[in-house]
Amino acid sequence: CTSVVAEDSKGSLFHARNLDFGLFMGWDVKNKTWIVTEKLRPLVVNVDFRRNNQTVFKSTNFAGYVGMLTGIRPHVFTLTMNERFSLDGGYIGILEWILGQRDGMWMSFLTRSVLENATSYEEAKKLLSQTKLLAPAYFILGGNQTGQGCVITRSRTLSLDIWELDHSLGRWYVLETNYDHWKEPLFVDDRRTPAMKCMNQTTQANISPKTLYDVLSTKPVLNKLTTYTTLMDVSTGLLEAYLRDCPDPCSPW
Amino acid sequence: SAHLAPPFTEECRTGMYPPKGPTFKGAVTWYTVDLNLPPSKRWAAVISDKKAELVAMIQVIRDLANAFVPSGKLIDIVDKDLPLLVDTLPYPFNEEIRGIAAVSGVPLGEVVLFNIFYEVFTV
């Protein structure tokens, strides 16, 4: 996955993501595609969650999956989640759950609860950084005011790091793939460097949902695991999603 | 073909929006989920439309599981034991999952597995 929150020169905040899933879950030799990824694409839906006939939040989802990986609470905040791999992974959390230790939260249920119930960027940030989880994760959160954008790096129990937009450091965007931002990515899976190169080339003055789509369309940010691209603009409440394909030559991940 | 080795990297794209061409596979359909409805009813419209696609995806997971454990015991465990897990999941997610299984006809344990995929695959 690749998620990015960016602020333009006028202080508008945009949030976009590629959702990549299906690595090592069956390779179709004939078509050179991942089998599960191909089957997930037709399940992608946009959902408008309404209460009392009013939109509470919107999301890009897989039909049949009740948790959230990508969503917007219009005019309040935007949220995406990227997978964080760890030996202290979710299978330990599941075992603890089965054995009766149920003080942690399932990752996608937490993101859904935050989208449904949090009424501010700060409240969302607090819930995402402090709630005990069953599995490690990266939460990418964007707000509705200048400087409100961060990547929360989570272990199952702790918030390891909160990396925020910072004008004083010239940090006008935060970009997360599937590696801790303070460490080098795996050299055969470096989507971060090309994505950051394209963000820097775009410049803050020209960043918009359209140019974010360009960044997320550049291989290997776009790869054979990419199922969809979502673009969000918190101020207008826009959420757009597009199914993606990555014809050869294209990185398998 | 060394330059094609992962990660194949190209120059930054421009002018890709509005989406078109070979990297664009289609628009995404909108649905409404009414949070005033009982949880078991909320996803009925989505699942009615996407039932065939959901069944096809679950079948792929069954095939993968059976490839790893050819005796079929892994899927037996999913079908027999994972439904017990749904009782322990927090409300309203447990009821929504039950509703999805009922509308789709997919065994409850397999819908549960789909919904806890993230926790299973973070290693």
Residue B2, chain A, CB below 8 Å: the answer is: no
A-facing residues of B in 19-38 (CB < 8 A) are 19, 22-36
d(CA A176, CA B69): 35
Confidence of residue B7 (pLDDT cuts 50, 70, 90): confident
Nearest-CA distance B76 → chain A (Å): 18
Average per-residue pLDDT for chain B: 92
Q: What is the mean pLDDT of residues A75-82?
A: 98
Residues of A involved in catalysis: 1
**B2 confidence band (pLDDT: 50, 70, 90):** low
Question: Chain A 95-114, CB below 8 Å of chain B: which residues?
Answer: 97-98, 102, 105-109, 112
Among the partner residues B7, B25, B97, nearest to A220 by beta-carbon distance: B7
Cross-strand bridge partners of residue A57: A49
Put simply, whether A246 touches B (Cβ < 8 Å) is yes
* Nearest to A137, CA basis, from A113, A109, A164, A117: A109
Query: What is the rounded average pLDDT of the residues B81-103?
Result: 96
Per-residue pLDDT tens digits for A17-29? 999 998 878 899 9
Facing residue for A56 by CB, picked from B35, B43, B50 = B35
Chain A residues with CB under 8 Å of B38 CB are none
State the pLDDT at residue B118. Answer: 86
Q: Which of B17, B56, B120 is opposite residue A91, by nearest beta carbon?
A: B120
> A interface mutation test: which of B11, B17, B35 has the most A CBs within 10 A?
B17
Contact indicator for A227, A19 with CB cutoff of 8 Å: yes
* B24-36 mean pLDDT: 98
How high is the pLDDT of residue B3? Answer: 57
- pLDDT for A25: 83
Q: Which residues pair with A72 in a beta bridge?
A: A58, A78
| Distance between CA atoms of residues B55 and A170, nearest Å | 48
Residue range A43-58, pLDDT digits in tens: 999 999 999 999 999 9
Residue A245 vs residues A34, A122, A248, B26: alpha-carbon distances, Å: 11, 36, 10, 9
Q: Which two tokens stand for residue A148?
A: 């409100």
Residue A39 has pLDDT above 80, yes or no: yes
Between positions 144 and 183 of A, the ones with CB within 8 A of B are: none
Cβ pair B6:A252 closer than 8 A: yes
Query: Above pLDDT 90, what percent of chain A?
Result: 95
Q: Is the peptide bond before A249 cis (omega within 30 degrees of 0)?
A: yes
Q: State ipTM.
A: 0.95
pLDDT (tens digit, 9 = 90+) per residue, A190-205? Answer: 999 999 999 999 999 9
- The long-range contacts involving A201-206, CB below 8 angstroms and separated by at least 24 positions, are A201/B12, A202/B12, A204/A6, A204/A7, A204/A8, A204/A9, A204/A172, A204/A173, A205/A8, A205/A9
Kindly report the backbone phi and psi dihedral angles of residue A218, in degrees, each rounded to the nearest multiple of 5, phi listed first: -90, 125
A71 near B CB under 8 A: no
**Probe site for chain B from A34, A242, A244, A250 (most B CB atoms < 10 A):** A242
* DSSP string for chain A: -EEEEEE-TTS-EEEEEEEE--TTS-EETTTTEEHHHHHHGGGEEEEEEEETTEEEEEEEEETT--S-SEEEETTTEEEEEEE---SS-HHHHHHHHHTT---SB-HHHHHHHHHHH--SHHHHHHHHHHS-BSS-EEEEEE-SSTT-EEEEEE-SS-EEEEEE-BGGGTB-EEEE-SS-TTSPPPGGG--HHHHHHHHHHH-GGG-SHHHHHHHHTSTTTS-TTEEEEEEEETTTTEEEEEEE--PSS----
* Per-residue pLDDT tens over the stretch B40-91: 999 999 999 999 999 999 999 889 888 888 898 989 999 999 999 999 999 9
With CB atoms and an 8 Å threshold, state whether B11 touches A218.
yes
Please name the member of B6, B11, B24 whose beta carbon is closest to the beta carbon of A188. B6
B117: nearest Cα among A62, A88, A225, A176: A62
Residue with tokens 């935050």: A114
CA A197 → CA A98, A201, A202, B100, distances in Å?
44, 6, 9, 42
A244 and chain B in contact, CB less than 8 A: yes
Task: Give yes or no for residue B6 having a pLDDT over 80.
Answer: no
